Chain A
């Protein structure tokens, strides 16, 4: 059975592109576009890797990550954060919230693929 990625992102065309490249690489890709219930979806789906955008409707990616990390059942889940601003401040907040990897938009497909592979094999 192939490994599962949960992509939490609200930009439909980014979802489509990332889904395509990950599926082509053999991943099962599930997507979700709302921040408010994102934590529940993660618990339900139990993915191998989560890709999490920072700017989401309903709840910020940072808050979602903090909730994930405070839940003992899933706090070891590898998370890749995506953000549009590449300021050191954002990276710091993301790292303190407990992300495993961090990427700033615009990123390259190859980087995403490589990072997701690395996170899954941890």
Chain B
């Protein structure tokens, strides 16, 4: 069983914030200061009555000591470890590492993210030669010309006599071909320059879109007024984006605007004040479909909601087309998430709302309610198949005794500890460590 979580670090943080000395807190909790010191450095596991006592002495909820916002950090660290041949014994100490060296851990996580971005750039560049017909054709042209020049030049350079007529011919060929080469290379250089200035084509457009929302937030006041213009917002937010990312942005913002029109901000505030982050209440109040209600909730300012909510949208192939992750419910940046999420199950039974209380990683075990529905992407047309897309709203759920089943889910298989999972599509680097609380 792996060593403890970050509980110790949080106790230390709370104690310092409260201006208590270690000895003082130890006394109140009826333990020795040296034992408290071990706990605070995540060297001793803590739980049960002692945890409650310490929480009481600090005047905080016990749960606030055992839960933290480190899920995303830990997930990134696990990904970093998954790329290496890290020994199991080292790997299970990941939380201890994050707790004892938060600065170093953040640095490592940051590096890991940079590595991922670079890897994708390299892949995109490699791809480019195969998928960019202009580039492939230019290169082919250049290589053909170079071949002709090389052949002719080496005939002339070889020792031995060549008849004057042939000499003239090859000289002329080299001259012609070199002029052609100059033309092609100039146009290729120009093409590459244009492609570069058109924003980084090396980045996935979806990533660029994520970056926009990361920068401006998911609530966009510019789209909330009745006179709002999507074009103006795209011009404003989409500066420096590639064509592809801009296209995605236009699509997302058009929907945003149409949702906002049907559900004006002031009325939304009333509704959340009454029923919190409940998409069903929104759908009933505004007479709209559930997916629109979910999108509206995800784009509301955080202070209107009890807690910020997350949202994932995927198309019929399961590829994520929109993601608003939460600190404690990260969404994978590449590829699909956990097949157990109602997001994907909804695709199998469209038009039905799927509800599930989930704990994402068995470790930090923050609890979320996932509400998912798959709806047609466009109105039905005579005799034509409809395409479906699935929405999943992610609402933080207080941790309390409940008779509801709690679904243990993962983020992605590679870093998911659940053993014997029917939905597993890839072995985990974590299954070896004993499953907990399953």
Binding site for B on A (CB under 8 A): 11, 13-14, 16-18, 20-21, 55, 84-85, 105-110
Contact = CB atoms under 8 A, between A and B. Distances in A.
Interface residues of B, number: 20
Contacts of A105: 143-144, 146-147
A21 to B, nearest CB: 6
A11 B145 CA distance: 8
Interface string B127-165: 000000000100110011011111110110000000000
B116 interface: no
Given A13-B176, A109-B154, A110-B154, 8 more contacts: A11-B148, A13-B151, A14-B151, A55-B140, A84-B139, A84-B140, A84-B144, A109-B155
A9 to B, nearest CB: 9
Given A17-B152, A17-B155, A20-B155, A106 B147 contact: yes
Contact of A21 (B140, B155, B173): B155
Nearest to A86: B143
B166 A13 contact: no
Nearest to A82: B147
Contact of A20 (B139, B149, B166, B177): B166
A108 B151 CA distance: 7
Residue among B139, B144, B146 with max Cβ neighbours from chain A (10 Å): B144
B154 A108 contact: yes
Contact of B152 (A13, A55, A110): A13
11 contacts: A13-B151, A14-B148, A16-B170, A16-B173, A17-B148, A17-B152, A20-B155, A84-B139, A106-B147, A107-B147, A108-B150
Contacts, number: 56
> What are the nearest 5 A-B pairs in CB distance?
A17-B151, A13-B148, A105-B147, A84-B143, A106-B147
B169 interface: yes
Given A84-B139, A108-B150, A14 B144 contact: yes
Contacts of B148: 11, 13-14, 17
Nearest to A18: B151
Nearest to B160: A24
A17 B170 contact: yes
B97 to A, nearest CB: 41
Contact of A109 (B146, B151, B166, B173): B151
A95 B170 CA distance: 33
Which secondary structure dominates chain B's binding surface? helix
A16 B149 CA distance: 11
Contacts of A108: 150, 154
Contacts of A109: 151, 154-155
Contacts of B173: 13, 16-17
A14 B154 CA distance: 12
Contacts of B146: 105-106
Contact of B144 (A11, A16, A20): A11
A11 B177 CA distance: 11
Interface in B67-96: none
A18 B173 CA distance: 13
Nearest to B142: A84
Contacts of B152: 13, 16-17
Contacts of A11: 144, 147-148
Residue from the set B148, B151, B152, B154 with the largest chain A CB neighbour count within 10 Å: B151
Contacts of B176: 13
B155 A14 contact: no
A32 B144 CA distance: 17
Nearest to B140: A84
B40 to A, nearest CB: 56
Contacts of B151: 13-14, 17-18, 21, 109
A20 B154 CA distance: 12
A8 B371 CA distance: 64
Nearest to B146: A106
The interface centre, meaning the residue of A13, A14, A16, A108 with most chain B CB atoms within 10 A of its CB, is: A13
A94 B170 CA distance: 31
Given A20-B166, A105-B146, A109-B155, A13 B177 contact: yes
B39 to A, nearest CB: 57
Contacts of B149: 13
A31 B146 CA distance: 20
B155 A106 contact: no
Interface in B162-213: 166, 169-170, 173, 176-177
A55 B173 CA distance: 21
Nearest to A54: B140
B148 to A, nearest CB: 4
Nearest to B136: A85
A105 B151 CA distance: 10
A67 B159 CA distance: 41
A16 B147 contact: no
A85 B139 contact: yes
A33 B169 CA distance: 20
